[in-house]
């Protein structure tokens, strides 16, 4: 991925089993900084220009909502669980899972197009605000209550 975007530093949060796959895709150890597990991910958003979610599958895409709520632009994988909430060129830029060239091209778009970046940040913030967890939980509770009648 690094070969497609100059002057990029990758901050990798978490310590999952597939970290080495990200390292291989990036291909440049000097531009990788391992942060390990982070208790409060919101602190990370102030340090980054963009969040990349390269998942092939994500059962709980809470990080997507957290990033949008902090007005951090997102590159989100086109995996099934994320496709349900992403809106390409509206609240994020979608990327092909396992395609470092696509990630690089989308990073360049965000870097080079301030208007697009601002639009994604604002639309993403509005999306996160209208999809708050508490409202979602109330809808689920109401649904289950209706099923018991």
Per-residue DSSP letter, 78: -
Q: Is 45 exposed, middle or buried (0-12, 13-18, 19+ CB in 10 A)?
A: middle
**What is the pLDDT tens value at each position of the chain, 149 positions in all?**
555 556 777 788 877 776 676 677 666 677 778 888 888 887 888 889 999 988 887 766 788 988 999 999 999 999 888 888 899 999 999 999 888 889 889 999 999 999 999 999 999 999 998 887 656 566 667 777 777 65
Residue from 11, 111, 16 nearest 58 by CA: 16
**What distances in angstroms separate CA 40 from CA 16, 44, 45, 49, 66, one per listed residue?**
17, 8, 10, 18, 11
Return the axis-axis angle of helices 114-130 and 62-69, rounded to nearest 10°.
Answer: 120
């Amino acid at each position: 991925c690094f070969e497609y975007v100059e002057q990029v530093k990758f901050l990798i949060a978490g310590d999952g089993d597939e970290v080495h796959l990200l390292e291989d895709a990036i291909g440049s150890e000097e531009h990788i900084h391992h942060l390990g597990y982070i208790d409060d991910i919101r602190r990370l958003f102030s340090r980054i220009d963009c969040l990349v979610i390269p998942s092939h599958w994500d059962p709980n895409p809470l990080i997507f909502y957290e990033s949008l709520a902090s007005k951090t632009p997102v590159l989100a994988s086109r995996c099934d669980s994320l496709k349900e909430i992403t809106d390409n060129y509206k609240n994020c830029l979608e990327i092909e899972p396992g395609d470092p060239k696509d990630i690089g091209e989308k990073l360049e778009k965000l870097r080079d197009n301030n208007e697009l970046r601002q639009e994604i940040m604002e639309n993403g913030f509005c999306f996160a605000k209208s999809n708050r967890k508490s409202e979602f939980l109330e809808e689920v509770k109401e649904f289950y209550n209706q099923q018991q009648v």
